[in-house]
Amino acid sequence: MNIIEQIIDFAPVNFIFSFLDVLLVWYVIYKVLTLIRGTKAVQLLKGLFVIIIARIVTEIFNLDTLGWMLQEVIDWGFLAIIIIFTPEIRRALEQIGRGKLFQRSGNQLEDEQARLIEAMKKAVSYMAKRRIGALISIEKETGLNEYIETGIRLDAHITSELIINTFIPNTPLHDGAVIIQKNRIAAAACYLPLSESTLISKELGTRHRAALGLSEVTDAVVIVVSEETGAISIAINGNLHRNLSLENFESQLRSTWFGPVLEQDVSSKWTWRGKKHG
């Protein structure tokens, strides 16, 4: 027995290797689940899980015929999986060869954030140019379920087309706020609390008062497009950042939605704190 075998057979070292073995298995399973998430393979795995559970039940209750049938399904099922999911398997092997498999989760998150920001920017730009009034609230840590219940539930993917269509005048959902929860459009035509501050400028309408009101009682990010001027504003933590350019809007939204909260946007002309800036 050489020195390497003696080290491996040493009890503490053997325990460490066994522990690492279990961790690696769990990590591989996690990466596989991450890889197939959102694909049709998820439903197939659920079906296989049901079949395996049923096979165990047949063993417990001695259901020989049904057990034989399920065992045949299991034996031939893995071959069928390889045939059915040949494109997915080939794509996974290509990612392993390019070293991109372990970067997939981070890249997916960044791509999704970029898509959401772009969809919001496109929708706001379209509505601002045409002076279509809009009020969009994005949930953060503080839940907005009580306000979601006042509107019409949608539970839809965020797209610029859906947001624009929601606020088109004289449509059933245009009056009220859209609430985004967990990166999905949870509801539309929602009622938000109006700010009771007496220091708010008289030129601000109901949308701006509702945006400020919600930002005063929650940590939500609230986007406002003025129907009168087409100006873009963001309310957060009781502060209203007004007259934002598209570039400043994107920067503010990215920082407040996915990053640290900004206290003040020095590039905007107005910031609401009860007094005028700039």
**235 within domain boundaries:** yes
Which of 147, 272, 136, 262 has its CA nearest to residue 204? Answer: 272
Amino acid (1-letter code) at residue 91: R
Confidence band, pLDDT 50/70/90 cuts, at residue 272: very low
Q: Where is average pLDDT lowest: 9-23, 90-104, 127-141?
A: 90-104
Average pLDDT over residues 138-146: 92
Final residue of a structural domain among 105, 134, 168: 105
Residue with the larger pLDDT of the pair 189 and 113: 189
Residue 235 has pLDDT above 70, yes or no: yes
**Are residues 268 and 242 in contact, defined by beta-carbon separation less than 8 angstroms?**
yes
Regarding whether 142 and 57 lie in a shared domain, the answer is no
Most confident segment among 196-200, 224-228, 255-259: 224-228
Residue 150 has pLDDT above 70, yes or no: yes
Average pLDDT over residues 242-247: 94
Percent of the chain with pLDDT over 70: 81
Regarding whether 68 and 25 lie in a shared domain, the answer is yes
Which of 233, 201, 238, 235 has its CA nearest to residue 217? Answer: 238
Residue with the larger pLDDT of the pair 65 and 3: 65
- 3-state SS, one letter per residue, for the chain: CCHHHHHHHCHHHHHHHHHHHHHHHHHHHHHHHHHHCCCCHHHHHHHHHHHHHHHHHHHHCCCHHHHHHHHHHHHHHHHHHHHHCHHHHHHHHHHHHHCCHHHHHHHHHHHHHHHHHHHHHHHHHHHHHCCCCEEEEECCCCCCHHHHCCCEEEEECCCHHHHHHHHCCCCCCCCCEEEEECCEEEEEEECCCCCCCCCCCCCCCHHHHHHHHHHHHCCCEEEEECCCCCCEEEEECCEEEECCCHHHHHHHHHHHHCCCCCCCCCCCCEECCCCCCC
Regarding whether 85 and 207 lie in a shared domain, the answer is no
Final residue of a structural domain among 73, 105, 137: 105
Regarding whether 98 and 51 lie in a shared domain, the answer is yes
Percent of the chain with pLDDT over 90: 50
Regarding whether 101 and 120 lie in a shared domain, the answer is no
Residue 94 has phi, psi (to 5 degrees) of -65, -40
Final residue of a structural domain among 52, 81, 105: 105
**277 within domain boundaries:** no
Left (φ > 0), alpha (ψ -120 to 50) or beta: where does 254 sit?
Answer: alpha
Q: What is the pLDDT of residue 269?
A: 37
**88 within domain boundaries:** yes
Residue 199 has pLDDT above 90, yes or no: no
Average pLDDT over residues 134-159: 94
Regarding whether 118 and 101 lie in a shared domain, the answer is no
**249 within domain boundaries:** yes
**198 within domain boundaries:** yes
Q: How many CB atoms lie within 10 A of CB 134?
A: 23
Give the contacts of 17 (CB within 8 A, at least 6 positions apart): 8
Rounded to two decimals, what is the model's pTM? Answer: 0.62
Regarding whether 245 and 139 lie in a shared domain, the answer is yes
**22 within domain boundaries:** yes
How many folded domains does the chain comprise?
Answer: 2
Q: What is the pLDDT of residue 78?
A: 77
Confidence band, pLDDT 50/70/90 cuts, at residue 271: very low
**250 within domain boundaries:** yes
Regarding whether 258 and 120 lie in a shared domain, the answer is yes
Regarding whether 120 and 62 lie in a shared domain, the answer is no
CATH number, position 239: 3.40.1700.10
Confidence band, pLDDT 50/70/90 cuts, at residue 263: very low
Regarding whether 101 and 123 lie in a shared domain, the answer is no
Regarding whether 153 and 131 lie in a shared domain, the answer is yes
Strand order in the sheet with 134-138: 152-156, 184-190, 177-181, 134-138, 221-225, 232-236, 239-242, 270-271
Regarding whether 183 and 155 lie in a shared domain, the answer is yes
Residue 265 has pLDDT above 50, yes or no: no
**74 within domain boundaries:** yes
Per-chain mean pLDDT for the chain: 82
Residue 69: domain span: 3-105
Q: What is the pLDDT of residue 5?
A: 58
Q: What is the pLDDT of residue 37?
A: 66
